[in-house]
Amino acid sequence: MPPKKVGSKLLNWASHIEDNTLAQARETASMPFVHPHVALMPDAHSGMGSAVGTVIPTLGAVIPAAVGVDIGCGMIGVRTGFTKSDLGDRNLADLRAAIERAIPVSMGNYNRGFDVWDFTASKLAELEGLAEANGVDLSHSPKWREQLGSLGSGNHFLELCLDTTDSVWLFLHSGSRGVGNKIAKKHIAIAQRLCKQWWIDLPNKDLAYIPEGVPEFGRYIEDLKWAQRFAYLNRAEMMDRFAVVFAQWMGVDDHHELERINCHHNYTVKEKHGNKDVWLTRKGAVDAHEGVKAMIPGSMGTRSYVVVGKGSAAGLCSAPHGAGRRFSRTEARRRYTVEDLRKRMVGIEFRDGEEFVDEIPDAYKDIDIVMADAVDLVDIEHELRQILNVKGT
Contact 54, 31 (CB under 8 A): no
Could you tell me the pLDDT band of residue 294, with boundaries at 50, 70 and 90? Answer: very high
pLDDT at 164: 96
> Binding site for GMP, residues?
155-159, 265-266, 297-300, 304, 321-324, 391
Q: Which residues are annotated as a binding site for Mn(2+)?
A: 70, 156, 173, 265
Mean predicted confidence (pLDDT) in 253-262: 94
- The model's pLDDT over 16-68, given as tens digits with 9 standing for 90+, comes to 999 999 999 999 999 999 999 999 999 999 888 799 999 999 999 999 999 99
CATH topology of domain 4-326+364-391: tRNA-splicing ligase RtcB (3.90.1860)
**In this structure, are strands 210-211 and 167-174 parallel, antiparallel, or unpaired?**
unpaired
Cis upstream peptide for 36 (omega within 30°): yes
CA distances from 392 to 21, 155, 168, 201, 343 (A): 27, 8, 23, 40, 20
Give the bridge partners for 205, in sequence order.
Answer: none
pLDDT at 44: 94
Percentage helix, strand, coil, to 5, in the chain? 35, 30, 35
Give the residue ranges of the annotated binding site.
Answer: 70, 155-159, 173, 265-266, 297-300, 304, 321-324, 391
Residues annotated catalytic, as ranges = 321
The structure's pTM equals: 0.96
pLDDT of residue 8: 86
